[in-house]
A and B are shown apart, each in its own frame.
Chain A
Amino acid sequence: MTTTTLAVLVPLLPFLGAAAGLALGRTAPGFVRPLAVLPTLAALALAVVVAVHQGGDEAVDAATELTPTGSVPIELALHIDGFAALVAVLVAFVATCVQIYSTGYLREDPRYPSYAALVSLFTSAMLLVVYSGDLMVLLVGWEVMGICSYFLVGHYWETPEARAASLKAFLVTKLGDVPFLIGLFALATDAGSFRITRVLGAVANGGLDHPTLIALLLLAGVAGKSAQFPLHTWLPDAMAGPTPVSALIHAATMVAAGVYFIARLLPVFEASQAAMVVLAVMAAVTMAGSALAALAQDDIKRVLAYSTIGQLGYMTGALAVADRGAAVFHLLSHGAFKALLFLAAGVIIHATGTNSLAAMSRMRNLRDRVPDAYWTMTVALLALAAIPPFSGFFSKEAVLGAAEHVTAGHTGHAPAAAGWIVLVAGLVTALLTAAYAMRLWLLAFRGQGAEAPDHGRQPVTMTVVLWVLAAPSLALGGFAYQSFPGWFDGGDLGPTLTTSVLGTGAALVGGIVTYAAWRHTTALTARVPMGAVAAHPEGDAGQVEAEAIASHAPAYGDVARAADPADPGRLLLGPLHRHAAAGFHLDAAYSALFVRPVRAGARLVRFLDREVVETYVRGAGTLPRWLGVAVRRAQTGNVQTYVSALLAGTVVLAVAVVLVATGA
């Protein structure tokens, strides 16, 4: 089979798996698990084969036009370069892990068939985005992901948090998608085609008339999908979904799509210096803000969610300095360790029966209960904090190195200002990232207090996946930084001395400071008893998690934070803690800026409709009714009255006729 055929099969197999899963979900429950795992696994194998075939050489392009579509043709096109091949491998890999993990995590869930089918569809859509060589086809995958995320985040739709979160995820990403769509049309109009290769060719020839406008419009869609400031607010709330879904969304699929999209069309963005600066500012604000917020969260998954936003900030930062190699490198390593983090967090939540770090910090010996999760999560957190030699170190150094490279003004692609912004924000974030990673680790695994509850061994499908993911988290960066440039644009991805020292130093400082703060506050743990655990510790992980999410707000007063004085993050952030826990009140600000005006407008419209428009309508009905009442009074029932009126009318008519006839 040719590479093209194989590449077509990669997104097609999970799609067929999803269709079959949905069709057979009720009639043949025995086939659901194989139908969920095997197509994804096959897609992974095919993606690897495609990557090997492609080998980082010349991009594979194939296109067929189904039907003429007017002035701007839409084609079913494949465009597989090194980025696409590797990202597809990552997507298929993480999706396979998630599917295997889910068989254990949701083993008793009655809605598992539809869940698995939606995950497969999600995977298929992401693979379509990755391989697509046509912007319209890419958009199809992009939007299918949006609707799948809506369903998957709302998987526990019995809880109000999940319902609200799924709606929010859908609406916020759609808010970005509208300008994105307009941007795509503008781009295609300027370039004369939706084909990525032709668009890039047009850009190279300077054929774009409105590069800044297009770039900013596209940026809005990317900010929505990749959860960048200011459209990131859906992501922390999306934690109301099951943990494997979080892993899938955060590691490989949805949020990666935005970064991947910019990486694909980087020349379009490079054509506008303003867009690059905006991108840099966006990345910097996202990075630093999300790291601060992560330090204050109490829900273990919300910590990871904010860390995802921060790491995506690194990727967009790398794109802002026009190094897409670094961005995709970080995307790959982040995909591995973030999937691991989420899946391990799922194991922890199942084991402890709570998603609250405050409650976990009051449990002793949790690491003995879940040794697999403990070791793999330690690896992943080290990767997240960018400690050498874990993979996160190399990819983050690639980003920082690229930024440092731009600050020196060695490139014509990105403005130096963008470089400085990304570099400074990246270093600050490195410190904060290490701090919250340390805090998470300390609170979760170094708790003191009662013995952690023993719910027996975790399902083997869940623990094996953790170790499978631990391998790339540990070693991907070190092995790959020399070989990846061949797949990418050829730029050097190796760590430079300056940024390595600065970044690692910042991370170490963050970790040590947090440890010191923790030593300082941990004594308080015993004095302030806290903790709420799920009511059904024997249920499957999905049920435990749903109960934990639903009980967090009643137990602690908020979904995001807990009033725990033993939290080192509280000490470190000081007065900022309250604001950071609430995501810097961005939701409240949006509520004040957009939601309330819209609601007020709706109320106004309702008022106008009910009181003004309806008054006329009612008046139109009332007047005839009054007339009817008046006329009804003539209905006396007295025949003589009727005859009088009849004859009077006759006389009048007769006189009128006579007058007319005589010409008077």
Chain B
Amino acid sequence: MTLAAETHGFLSPTGVEIAFLLVGLVTFGAALVTVTTRQLVHAALWLVVTLGGLAVEYLLLTAEFIAWVQVLIYVGSVVVLLLFGLMLTKAPIGRSPDADSGNRWAALAVALTAAAALVWVVVDAFRTTWIDLDGPAAGSTKVTGESLFQNWVLPFEALSVLLLAALVGAIVLSRKAKANATQAGAAVDRARADRTDTAATAAEPGKDGVR
């Protein structure tokens, strides 16, 4: 390993490395835009770019299964969920001047310090470490599947229980919130009290929005 690293200097990058660097720059830039843009929907879209870039990085690291899972779950579902959330919470479309809180400078300081510390440590530790990407892919579907269902069955099943719990939890949260909202509405406006039995209908979010 050490010998391998000696034969591969940073000033003579391989093709994979160049590709990785370029995609990494795009990913990082997209991530920066995601956390700084004042347009909320754009942030979600830039997040798609970031996550997609990461999927490419996974491919470059020969972890193809992870890459497709990334595309499927993150780009496919998580971002869609986020966009739904933005819409449901009446996120303003277009530039919103108060997208960042007053905490920003403290956050920036913390983030920069953390970045400096992490990069320094990581570079210091793995400066000479070399990944040999030749040979069979490390993360093909076959390999991953064997590993997952031979060595990681129990955590896998536990994870399915966790997902179920999260599913139930999300539903419970939403329903409880609706009931509370109904009560609050009744308390605020006595005139609408007779309509509380219809409060659980799908029209409720819209009604909230009117308020």
Give A residues with C-beta under 8 Å from B: 638, 640-641, 644, 647-648, 651, 654-655, 658
B117 and A644 contact, CB distance less than 8 A? no
Residue B110 CB within 8 A of the other chain: yes
Contacts of A638 in B (CB 8 A): 101, 103
C-alpha spacing A640/B121, complex, angstroms: 26
A647 and B114 contact, CB distance less than 8 A? yes
A651 and B113 contact, CB distance less than 8 A? yes
Contacts of A644 in B (CB 8 A): 103, 106-107, 110
Determine the residue in chain A with the shortest Cβ distance to B106.
A644
Interface of A is mostly: helix
Contacts of A640 in B (CB 8 A): 101, 103, 107
Contacts of B117 in A (CB 8 A): 651, 654-655, 658
**Pairs A-B, 4 closest by C-beta atoms:** A648-B110, A651-B114, A640-B103, A644-B106
Query: Range of interface residues on chain B?
Result: 10 to 19
11 contacts across the A-B interface (CB closer than 8 A): A640-B103, A640-B107, A644-B103, A644-B110, A647-B110, A648-B106, A651-B113, A651-B114, A651-B117, A654-B117, A655-B117
Interface of B is mostly: helix
Distance of B54 from chain A, by nearest CB (Å): 22
B113 and A648 contact, CB distance less than 8 A? yes
C-alpha spacing A655/B116, complex, angstroms: 10
Contacts of A655 in B (CB 8 A): 117
Contact of A641 among B103, B114, B121 (CB under 8 A): B103
C-alpha spacing A552/B157, complex, angstroms: 104
Determine the residue in chain B with the shortest Cβ distance to A654.
B117
Contacts of A647 in B (CB 8 A): 110, 114
Contact of B110 among A651, A654, A658 (CB under 8 A): A651
Query: Other CB < 8 Å A-B pairs besides A640-B101, A647-B114, A651-B113, 5 of them?
Result: A640-B103, A640-B107, A644-B107, A647-B110, A658-B121
Proximity string of chain B (110-149) to chain A, C-beta cutoff 8 Å, 1 when within and 0 when not: 1001100100010000000000000000000000000000
Contacts of B109 in A (CB 8 A): 648
C-alpha spacing A640/B110, complex, angstroms: 12
Distance of B117 from chain A, by nearest CB (Å): 5
Distance of A140 from chain B, by nearest CB (Å): 80
C-alpha spacing A654/B110, complex, angstroms: 13
Contacts of B113 in A (CB 8 A): 648, 651
Distance of A83 from chain B, by nearest CB (Å): 98
Within 8 A of A (CB), among B72-117: 101, 103, 106-107, 109-110, 113-114, 117
Within 8 A of A (CB), among B37-53: none
Contacts of B106 in A (CB 8 A): 641, 644, 648
C-alpha spacing A382/B31, complex, angstroms: 124
Determine the residue in chain A with the shortest Cβ distance to B114.
A651
Determine the residue in chain B with the shortest Cβ distance to A647.
B110
C-alpha spacing A483/B109, complex, angstroms: 115
Determine the residue in chain A with the shortest Cβ distance to B120.
A658
C-alpha spacing A644/B106, complex, angstroms: 7
C-alpha spacing A655/B103, complex, angstroms: 23
Give B residues with C-beta under 8 Å from A: 101, 103, 106-107, 109-110, 113-114, 117, 121
C-alpha spacing A658/B113, complex, angstroms: 14
C-alpha spacing A654/B106, complex, angstroms: 18
Distance of A223 from chain B, by nearest CB (Å): 82
Contacts of B107 in A (CB 8 A): 640, 644
Distance of A649 from chain B, by nearest CB (Å): 10
C-alpha spacing A159/B117, complex, angstroms: 87
Contacts of B103 in A (CB 8 A): 638, 640-641, 644
Of A640, A651, A654, most buried by chain B (CB within 10 Å of CB) is A651
Determine the residue in chain B with the shortest Cβ distance to A646.
B110
Distance of A637 from chain B, by nearest CB (Å): 12
C-alpha spacing A658/B101, complex, angstroms: 32
Contacts of B101 in A (CB 8 A): 638, 640
Distance of B190 from chain A, by nearest CB (Å): 31
C-alpha spacing A651/B103, complex, angstroms: 18
Distance of B148 from chain A, by nearest CB (Å): 32
Determine the residue in chain B with the shortest Cβ distance to A650.
B114
C-alpha spacing A640/B108, complex, angstroms: 12
C-alpha spacing A654/B103, complex, angstroms: 23
Determine the residue in chain B with the shortest Cβ distance to A662.
B124
Determine the residue in chain B with the shortest Cβ distance to A638.
B103
C-alpha spacing A280/B191, complex, angstroms: 105
C-alpha spacing A644/B107, complex, angstroms: 6
Determine the residue in chain A with the shortest Cβ distance to B125.
A658
C-alpha spacing A651/B114, complex, angstroms: 6
Of B107, B110, B114, most buried by chain A (CB within 10 Å of CB) is B110
C-alpha spacing A648/B113, complex, angstroms: 8
Determine the residue in chain B with the shortest Cβ distance to A640.
B103
C-alpha spacing A644/B101, complex, angstroms: 12
C-alpha spacing A640/B106, complex, angstroms: 10
C-alpha spacing A458/B107, complex, angstroms: 103
Distance of B80 from chain A, by nearest CB (Å): 26
C-alpha spacing A648/B103, complex, angstroms: 13
C-alpha spacing A647/B106, complex, angstroms: 11
Contacts of B121 in A (CB 8 A): 654, 658
C-alpha spacing A641/B104, complex, angstroms: 10
C-alpha spacing A648/B110, complex, angstroms: 5
Distance of B81 from chain A, by nearest CB (Å): 21
Determine the residue in chain A with the shortest Cβ distance to B103.
A640
C-alpha spacing A647/B109, complex, angstroms: 11
C-alpha spacing A638/B114, complex, angstroms: 21
C-alpha spacing A658/B122, complex, angstroms: 11
C-alpha spacing A638/B106, complex, angstroms: 13
C-alpha spacing A651/B109, complex, angstroms: 11
C-alpha spacing A647/B103, complex, angstroms: 13
Distance of B9 from chain A, by nearest CB (Å): 24
C-alpha spacing A655/B118, complex, angstroms: 9
Determine the residue in chain B with the shortest Cβ distance to A649.
B110
Distance of B102 from chain A, by nearest CB (Å): 9
C-alpha spacing A658/B109, complex, angstroms: 20
C-alpha spacing A630/B53, complex, angstroms: 46
Distance of B109 from chain A, by nearest CB (Å): 8
Distance of A643 from chain B, by nearest CB (Å): 9
C-alpha spacing A640/B101, complex, angstroms: 9
C-alpha spacing A654/B121, complex, angstroms: 10
Distance of B162 from chain A, by nearest CB (Å): 24
C-alpha spacing A655/B119, complex, angstroms: 12
Contacts of A654 in B (CB 8 A): 117, 121
Determine the residue in chain B with the shortest Cβ distance to A636.
B103
Distance of B111 from chain A, by nearest CB (Å): 8
Distance of A533 from chain B, by nearest CB (Å): 79
C-alpha spacing A638/B103, complex, angstroms: 9
Contacts of B114 in A (CB 8 A): 647, 651
C-alpha spacing A655/B110, complex, angstroms: 13
Distance of A642 from chain B, by nearest CB (Å): 10
C-alpha spacing A413/B90, complex, angstroms: 118
Contacts of B110 in A (CB 8 A): 644, 647-648, 651
C-alpha spacing A65/B109, complex, angstroms: 90
C-alpha spacing A655/B109, complex, angstroms: 15
Contacts of A651 in B (CB 8 A): 110, 113-114, 117
Distance of B21 from chain A, by nearest CB (Å): 26
C-alpha spacing A641/B110, complex, angstroms: 11
C-alpha spacing A345/B7, complex, angstroms: 131
Determine the residue in chain A with the shortest Cβ distance to B107.
A644
Determine the residue in chain A with the shortest Cβ distance to B121.
A658
C-alpha spacing A647/B108, complex, angstroms: 12
Determine the residue in chain A with the shortest Cβ distance to B115.
A651
C-alpha spacing A189/B86, complex, angstroms: 100
